[in-house]
Amino acid sequence: MTRNYLIAGNWKMNLTATESAALAKEVVQLVSQNSSVDICVSPTFTALDAVSRMVNGSQVSLGAQNMHQEVSGAYTGEISASMLESLEVDYVILGHSERREYFGETDSLVNQKTVAALQAGLKPIVCVGETLEQREADQTIAVIQSQVEGGLASLGADCADSLVIAYEPVWAIGTGKTATPEMAEAVHAEIRAMLTGLMGESAAQKIRILYGGSMKPENADELLAQANIDGGLIGGAALKADSFISLIDSAAKQSN
């Protein structure tokens, strides 16, 4: 069965709207037409409009890095799902470890956002991952299980085509340390089993589970070759068109 990989860039709080549009332009120009890989770039909110125009009609989809769970109202500084939709956003990253750590996002909040995103027709990329302390204390699977069960509470098999999970060990994000392919695959396989328990086998097979944490051209082939790794959520290596394209090429090689 050919796999439908997703390579998603998370540009975090980097690049102005002009710089983001320039990077998106480069990516669009370098991506081969009819790429077998789904591709998404996620600029900061203020650059969504400019990047949306740049990727319009191309193989590259648009992602956002966060959203509010309510439809509208008195939530100063927040952005709703319909506002994202109006800019042709397809994907939204939810519960990134930086949001959990610096902004106190809980599994219950991630769940509310995930439900709201799905209701609005967006594809949530729900992030889970353990800290170094939790890994060293042998708590990795328990932590991931509570994040998966909490973040996906009340969701049914009907969300399988839209839902994406990203396994991102916190100790590997932006540190240059990558989980070995075997370490990553072991957790991905556990997540697949959790999804099977929650939504059934066929839904669990459809849901893409991305790896994130210092994925780069040098380690992508091996990571993407693992049975349960369906793509990558990429920070640093997504900020340069050539390294991002190299990751897309790695995924394309695996899917051929």
Q: Which stretch binds ligand PEP (CB under 6 A): 22-30, 40-48, 83-91, 227-235?
A: 227-235
Q: Is residue 213 at the binding interface for ligand PEP, with CB under 6 A as the rule?
A: yes
Contact 225, 164 (CB under 8 A): no
Question: Residue of minimal CB distance from ligand PEP?
Answer: 235
**Least distance from C-beta 220 to ligand PEP, angstroms?**
11
Residue 174 in the binding site for ligand PEP (CB under 6 A): yes
Q: How many Cβ atoms from other residues are within 10 Å of residue 158's Cβ?
A: 11
> Per CB under 6 A, does 234 bind ligand PEP?
yes
Q: Active-site residue among 98, 105, 168, 185? A: 168
Distance CA 126, CA 94 (A): 5
Among 62, 215, 224, 229, binds ligand PEP (CB under 6 A): 215
9 binds ligand PEP (CB under 6 A): no
Q: From CA 205, how far away is CA 195, in angstroms rounded?
A: 9
What span, in angstroms and rounded, lies between the C-alpha atoms of 42 and 210? 15
Contact flag: residue 148 with ligand PEP (CB under 6 A): no
Token pair listed for 44? 């900061």
The token pair at 48 is: 């969504």
Q: How far is the CB of 178 from ligand PEP (least distance, A)?
A: 8
End-to-end CA distance of the chain: 10
Q: Is residue 212 close enough to count as binding ligand PEP by CB under 6 A? A: yes
- 108, amino acid identity: S
Minimum distance of ligand PEP from residue 64's CB (angstroms): 14
**Residue 110 carries which side chain, given as an amino acid letter?**
V
* 62 vs 92: CA distance, rounded Å: 9
Q: Least distance (Å) from ligand PEP to the CB of residue 143? A: 17
Number of residues that bind ligand PEP (CB under 6 A): 13
Partners of residue 8 on adjacent β-strands: 40, 233
State how far the Cα of 98 lies from the Cα of 80, in Å rounded to an integer: 20
> Is residue 10 part of the contact set for ligand PEP (CB under 6 A)?
yes
- In whole angstroms, how close is the CB of 33 to ligand PEP at the nearest point? 27
168 is catalytic: yes
Catalytic site residues? 96, 168
Q: Which residues bind ligand PEP (CB under 6 A)?
A: 10, 168, 173-174, 212-215, 233-237
